[in-house]
Amino acid sequence: MFESYLKQYIGKDPAQVKPLSIAIVGAGATGVELAAQLHEVTGVLAMYGLNEPSDVKLTIIEAATRLLPALPDRLAMATQQQLAKLGVDLKLGRRVTEVNREGILTHDGEFIAADIKVWAAGIKAPDWVKNLDGLETNPLNQLIVDATLKTSDDDIFAMGDCAACAWTGRVGNVPPRAQAAHQQAEALYKSLCNRLNGKALVPFTYYDYGSLVSLGKYTTVGNLMGSLMGTVSIGGFIAKLVYLSLYKMHQIAIHGYFRTAMLTLSNAFRRSVYIKIKLH
């Protein structure tokens, strides 16, 4: 983004330059979070005297008629209002049919000019996966697995984003999320140990613990799901706190308690002297 921005503005008469346009396809958590983060960064550019936030035009294009499908209507509406406040142009109910050098075309014939295009409308595994020696795949090239994460070959298992696993008790598959990959890894570990000991494989059941969407410094929204409390919608400070604690839990899982504490401490000291963006 910075390279495009600098190319567009440096050394030119500001009155003659059109805003840098960025179009994001997909208003799921990734697209929405990215739009908010990019908006926040344009504010940082202004601190360097480089632009007015209006010099960067952000557009999100979404095929569904609402954003954030994983969250309840109320939170989706609140997020939509927040994005509108930031000046993000949200085009709902528009299916993208073509992306070319100049911009993006939607099914109703609208052409959205964009200097930078970002695809955040879902995942697809590479084409070579569908040619893996007869393993069954779906149109997204994911390997189809049964409830024990076994592919159509008894000796090959798949998990995470590359696996299409039916969501027990729901329509569709387990979503491609970190929490799903984590739970599948735990189930598969047990299954592989069982198999080595001549025991039965463990069936995998996905538990959705909820979703959190961070709109940078502006707000955080989400829902948490638990067997005791049911589904709880959260927003603002509480959601931000939960989001941060999830990040810390992730760091603890990777680095352990001591190194996470040291990292947190060093980040706190570094924040006051660290540059927010690198302009070269």
Ligand X SMILES: Cc1cc2nc3c(=O)[nH]c(=O)nc-3n(C[C@H](O)[C@H](O)[C@H](O)COP(=O)(O)OP(=O)(O)OC[C@H]3O[C@@H](n4cnc5c(N)ncnc54)[C@H](O)[C@@H]3O)c2cc1C
Of the candidate residues 148, 179, 194, 233, the single one contacting ligand X (CB under 6 A): 179
Residue 30 near ligand X by CB under 6 A: yes
CB-wise, 20 or 120, nearer to ligand X?
Answer: 120
- CB 178 → ligand X: shortest distance, Å? 3
Report the Cα 239 to chain-centroid distance in Å: 17
- Using CB under 6 A as the binding rule, whether residue 222 contacts ligand X is answered as no
**Quick check: helix, strand or coil at residue 84?**
helix
From the list 181, 224, 252, 261, which residue makes contact with ligand X (rule: CB under 6 A)?
181
Stretch that binds ligand X, among 104-112, 158-166, 201-209, 254-262 (CB under 6 A): 158-166
The Cα–Cα gap between 76 and 235 comes to 11
Considering only 160, 202, 220, 222, the residue that binds ligand X (CB under 6 A) is 160
CB of 160 to ligand X, least distance (A): 2
- The residue with tokens 């919608």 is 233
3-state secondary structure of 264: helix
Nearest CB to ligand X, comparing residues 97 and 205 = 205
148-160: burial string, b at 16+ Cβ within 10 Å, e else? bbbbeeeeebbbb
Please report, as residue ranges, which positions from 84 to 123 form the binding site for ligand X (by CB under 6 A).
none
Rounded CA-CA distance 268/259 in Å is 14
Considering only 161, 167, 192, 251, the residue that binds ligand X (CB under 6 A) is 161
Q: Is 135 in the site for ligand X (CB under 6 A)?
A: no
- Under the binding rule (CB under 6 A), the answer on residue 177 touching ligand X is yes
- Give the distance, in angstroms, between the CA of residue 97 and the centroid of all CA atoms in the same chain: 22
Q: Applying CB under 6 A, which of residues 43, 72, 176, 210 lies at the interface with ligand X?
A: 176
Q: Does 37 bind ligand X (CB under 6 A)?
A: no
Q: How far is the CB of 56 from ligand X (least distance, A)?
A: 20
Distance between CA atoms of 142 and 121, rounded to whole angstroms?
Answer: 16
Long-range CB contacts for residues 180-187, cutoff 8 Å, separation at least 24:
180/206, 183/207, 184/149, 184/159, 184/160, 185/159, 185/160, 187/149
The helix (run of H) or strand (run of E) holding residue 269 is: helix 236-270
Q: Which residue is nearest to ligand X (CB)?
A: 160
Which of residues 78 and 162 has its CB atom nearest to ligand X in the complex? 162
Tokens coding 72 = 């309840």
| Residue placing its CB nearer to ligand X in the complex, 144 or 181 | 181
Count of positions on this chain that bind ligand X (CB under 6 A): 9
Contact criterion met (CB below 8 Å) for 82 and 243: no
State the nearest-atom distance from the C-beta of 127 to ligand X, in Å: 12
- Residues forming the site for ligand X (CB under 6 A): 30, 160-162, 176-179, 181
